[in-house]
Amino acid sequence: MSRGDFLGEFEQIVLLAVARLDATAYGMEIRREIETRSGRAVTIGAVYATLDRLERKGLVQSRDDRSGGRARRFFTMTPSAADALEASRAIHARMWHGLRLRREGRRS
Amino acid sequence: MPGRPGILRALLARVLGPGVVGRSLLGDLDEEFADRAAADPRAARRWYRREAAGVMWRARRIRTGDAGRSWRTHQPKGKGDPMLQVLWNDVKGAVRTLRKEPRFTIVASITLALGVGAVVSIFSVVNGVLLKPLPHPNPDRLVNVWSNATGLGYNQFPLSPDLYYFYARHQQVFDELAMFQRGRVNLTDTGTPEVIASVATTANYFPTLGVRMVMGRGYRDEEDRPDAPRVAVVSHRFWTNRLAGDSAVLGRQIRLDGQPTEIIGVAPAWLDEDDSAEVFVPTRIDPDQPPAGSFGWNAVGRLRDGVSAGEAAAGLVPLVDRFKEEVAVSGNYRAFLTKGEYRPVVNLLKEDVVGSVREPLWILLGTVGMVLLIACANVANLFLVRADGRQRELAVRSALGASRSSLVRRVLTEALVLASLGTTLGVAVSAAALPALLRLAPGIIPRLDQVSIDVAVVFVAVVAAVLSAMVFGLAPALRYTNASALGALRHGGRGGTDDPARRRGRNLLVVGQTALALILLVGSGLLVRSFANLMATELGFEPDRVLTFRVALPDAAYPESADILGFDERLRTALAAVPGVASVSAVTVLPLAAGAPGTAHEFEGQPIAAGQLPPMVHFKTVAPAYFETMGIALLQGRDFHAGDTRDGVRHVIVNRALADLYWPGENPLGRRVRLGASGAPQPMPWSTVVGLVGTERQDGLRLPPRPLIYYGFNETANNGTPRQLSYVAKGLGPSVSGEGVRQAVWSVDASMPITSMQTMDEIVDGSVVQFTFTMLTLGIAAGLALALGAIGLYGVLSYTVALRTREIGVRLALGAQPSRVMRSVVLSGAAITAVGLAIGLAGAFGLTRFLTGILYETEPLDPATFAGMTLALFVVALVASLLPARRAAAVSPLESMRTE
């Protein structure tokens, strides 16, 4: 959390996908991971844009690899990303602590 | 990777730049596209488009370039881009101005909407039919293999199984080459009896086309043998419509032509787009003993990488030579191949699907493009006229410090706003009119189901809008913002007379319109003339009051010739008893239907020398009373009758074209012909000519009538009684009741499906419907052009007269005759028109040759059409200038002075 701001929801999801895929995280694979786990359609453009932002924030590192016959960009999490994710989880946990949402009559 | 939207990928590559980020993103997309395309190429393309849109949308947020250069990562917020702000102000101003002049805005946008709507409609047809790829994987590698025998005058006919298997064994140019034959089968035991479209194919048909079964499998080579158990693959359409999409359908038995057949696979939905067949069955031909010289089979191949269609054809040529040496050893067969100059032909699949409509569709697109240009010219004129009135406003703006570029931008923005309005209207018009347009063209344009207003169409509409805004906005923008024009304020803004430079501008536009309108008029005039010629063509038969339908007698229910003949006789008796039926007959191939088979014949007294080709003559088989029912003249001799078989003599009837060709100037009656060539090991028996009839058009109105031999239906027992029959019934009254006919058929065989029930009139209309469609569309475009052109001329002259009111008033006051004034206005209109007509004539001379392929017995430079249309347009122009002229003559000198 170098800049002290919160991780956005999609940023968290992308980071988690990078973490899950470990060494094999490249754009399309990340997209697929999110799509299969979340059940929501995600475009590659959104993934790349988010990865860029995360890289600027120093949360992921990319490395270019041409071994597979074409250019691929693999992503790994930086240590500060783990901190940021943990912090996000902690914030969530604290915000939820002791809270029960009433589903009816919210507006009344 | 073929199949992927190539333009889109190039665009993406451009947006993303050359860096590693862009390349890895593109690579990612390629990878997943390949995965998805294997399952469903069409869905994969859709997916790719969506992804590409997503990437472009975010392009500025995706870093590109290896050095970490980023695309304008920081956007000024709040204030917004200053350029955008200016543009937005311009647009707001333009909208405000246009709202203040509703009449101008409405007329201009409707004019544009007509032009844009026409372009969008025709382009969406061109896009769907010609530009969209076929649904198969890598469709640009798929080809059909045909035969040409120019020595016999036969072009593009199918292959023979023996030649196909020879190709398949030895060819080096295809990855796969499959054989198939379209047909129809009777489907019983699933509700009412029906005839459905079928294809008999070799086992590799599905791999060749890149078809992966939705369920089950295609057949194997060993299932494509004469004695193999019967299996079938059903189409997706068949599966959903007739089997209710049942997932447990594999292994189920259906009855095709009376034979129990096991369903082993379900084809994917995309194949339905390309293939009307409901079931796919094996050919059941033994590859080691394929039928020889039976040229009724089609072949489809997948080109090897790097091989073009032309190279593939060249690669097959040596195989034909080897085939002649090794397989086609019988004298006639080899003679056929050698003297016929047999050559393989390889066509791209898509070319075969849409080749016949390519030319008319591009011509139509060019035509509506001209209509759009004319509409633009009209709007440009409106702009010019209007700009005259706005000169003061522009001069004030200039005096207050507006630069010329800002004024030009302002006028151009107005043009763009107007164009957007017209385009939106036009697309809406087109969306509404498209279904009606498509209804005009049933069954004549392939792939019509692909026609829709999609991204590409909207893109073209936008391009058309921007281009037309440039066309009609730029000239006024430049003209009215130049320094001398802006001096108007100094002169008090009194536009009392007509500035020659401006008049020239307006006149030029009218000249252009007239020229374009003349080109379109001449084009549609040529088509109308062709249509008249086509309609005046001697049919050789009388189509009115004749109802036709088709039946196919399955082997299982009618195994022997005698069964078929018995059915035919009972059916004709039953049909004759239907109230209102005057006469009834049956025939193998209806007129105008093409497809009468041709085969070698020998004419007595005209022996065929060894190594020579026997004459190929087309023949039809008819029941008695065919000529009477169809209204074909019996010129000499007699018709077939029921007793013909009893005297042991075989009879034929020939048409006039045949008699003129083989017995010129002689009496054909009593002459003898037989099937096959002399020297055949077992010659066929001779048949005696007993009748001579008029020549019916067999292959369509545009093709010359063909020499024909008619065989009697009763005499076919020896050489295969036809099982596919068209019945014809002539009515006493205006029409024969279809219901009565159906009941008659079912009274003879309750399980007999009836297909293609239509009147002969419908068949005649159907044979020219593609032509009618082209003619109508071109005619509508020409009418639109004429109307727009006339309005343009009228507008310009009216405006000129209005500007010259004071001058005319002065002249009249000084004693000029009103008739002279009138004449001078009409003459100036005539002068403009004449220049336009001259240019239009030159254009038409150059352009009508593109119509050569469509015209029928009409020269592309037909002088009557050229002269007639020029005169017509000139008369319309005179009428259009008469109204302003009369107004000029009626100017009262006093009033005209007062207008100041």
The mean pLDDT value for B88-103 works out to: 82
- Burial pattern B705-729, b for ≥16 Cβ within 10 A else e, equals bbbbbbbbbbbbeeeebbeebbbbb
The mean pLDDT value for B254-269 works out to: 90
Residue, of A96 and B441, whose pLDDT is higher: A96
Name the least confident of B42-56, B545-559, B791-805, B817-831: B791-805
Task: Give the residue numbers in B contacting A (CB under 8 Å), as ranges.
Answer: 20-21, 23-25, 27-32, 50-51, 54-59, 61-63, 70
pLDDT at position B659: 92
Q: Give the closest of A28, A46, A48 to B32, CB-based.
A: A28
| Nearest-by-CA chain B residue for A73 | B24
Answer whether B62 sits within 8 Å of A45, measured CB to CB: yes
How much is the ipTM here? 0.79
Q: Please report which confidence band the pLDDT of residue B496 belongs to, taking 50, 70 and 90 as the band edges.
A: very low
**Partners of residue A70 in chain B, C-beta under 8 Å:** 23-24, 27, 30
**Residue B115 to residues A2, B366, B369, B464, B467: CA-CA distances in angstroms?**
59, 12, 8, 9, 12
Asked whether the predicted pLDDT for residue B492 surpasses 50, the reply is no
Name the least confident of B14-28, B58-72, B283-297: B58-72
Name the least confident of B76-90, B136-150, B463-477, B834-848: B76-90
**Does residue A48 sit at the B interface (CB-CB below 8 Å)?**
yes
Name the least confident of B259-268, B495-504, B767-776: B495-504
Q: Give the closest of A32, A44, A64 to B51, CB-based.
A: A44
Answer whether B25 sits within 8 Å of A43, measured CB to CB: no
Give B820: exposed, middle or buried? Use CB within 10 Å, 0-12, 13-18, 19+.
exposed
**Does residue A72 sit at the B interface (CB-CB below 8 Å)?**
yes
pLDDT at position B79: 45
Q: Give the closest of B28, B55, B63 to A52, CB-based.
A: B63
Q: Please report which confidence band the pLDDT of residue B493 belongs to, taking 50, 70 and 90 as the band edges.
A: very low
Asked whether the predicted pLDDT for residue A2 surpasses 50, the reply is no
The mean pLDDT value for B141-149 works out to: 90
pLDDT at position A1: 43
**Partners of residue B27 in chain A, C-beta under 8 Å:** 70-72
pLDDT digits (tens, 9 = 90+) for B690-728: 999 999 888 888 788 889 999 888 776 555 678 888 999
Name the least confident of B17-21, B36-40, B605-609: B17-21
**Partners of residue A28 in chain B, C-beta under 8 Å:** 28-29, 31-32
Q: Please report which confidence band the pLDDT of residue B65 belongs to, taking 50, 70 and 90 as the band edges.
A: very low
What phi, psi does A61 have (nearest 5°)?
-120, 140
**Does residue A8 sit at the B interface (CB-CB below 8 Å)?**
no
Q: Which helix (H) or strand (E) holds B92?
A: helix B82-100
| Measured torsion, CA atoms of residues B27, B32, B33, B37, in degrees rounded to the nearest 10 | 150
**Does residue A70 sit at the B interface (CB-CB below 8 Å)?**
yes
Q: What is the DSSP string of B266-291?
A: E--HHHHHH---SEEEE----TTSPP
Tokens of B665: 């100037």
The mean pLDDT value for A50-63 works out to: 87
**Partners of residue B57 in chain A, C-beta under 8 Å:** 45
Asked whether the predicted pLDDT for residue B280 surpasses 80, the reply is yes
The alpha carbon of residue A89 is apart from the nearest alpha carbon of chain B, in Å, by 27
Among candidates B783, B728, B382, which has minimal Cα distance to B585?
B728
Answer whether A48 sits within 8 Å of B55, measured CB to CB: yes
Answer whether B20 sits within 8 Å of A26, measured CB to CB: no
pLDDT at position A5: 62
Name the least confident of B108-122, B414-428, B433-447: B433-447
Answer whether A73 sits within 8 Å of B20, measured CB to CB: yes
- Count CB pairs under 8 A between chains A and B: 61
Share of chain B above pLDDT 70, in %: 89
Compute the distance between CA of residue B104 and CA of residue B30 in angstroms, rounded to an integer.
51
pLDDT digits (tens, 9 = 90+) for B355-390: 777 888 888 888 888 888 888 888 888 877 777 667
pLDDT digits (tens, 9 = 90+) for B298-322: 999 999 998 999 999 999 999 998 9
Answer whether A45 sits within 8 Å of B63, measured CB to CB: no
Compute the distance between CA of residue B662 and CA of residue B65 in angstroms, rounded to an integer.
79
The mean pLDDT value for A3-31 works out to: 84
Among candidates B674, B490, B528, B489, which has minimal Cα distance to B600?
B674
Answer whether A49 sits within 8 Å of B62, measured CB to CB: yes
One-letter amino acid of A2: S
**Partners of residue A32 in chain B, C-beta under 8 Å:** 32
pTM for the full predicted model: 0.66
The alpha carbon of residue A17 is apart from the nearest alpha carbon of chain B, in Å, by 16
The most confident of the ranges B106-110, B489-493, B735-739 is B106-110
Answer whether B20 sits within 8 Å of A64, measured CB to CB: yes
Share of chain B above pLDDT 90, in %: 19
**Partners of residue B58 in chain A, C-beta under 8 Å:** 45-46, 48-49
| Nearest-by-CA chain B residue for A31 | B28
pLDDT at position B66: 33
What phi, psi does B630 have (nearest 5°)?
-85, -5
Answer whether A28 sits within 8 Å of B63, measured CB to CB: no
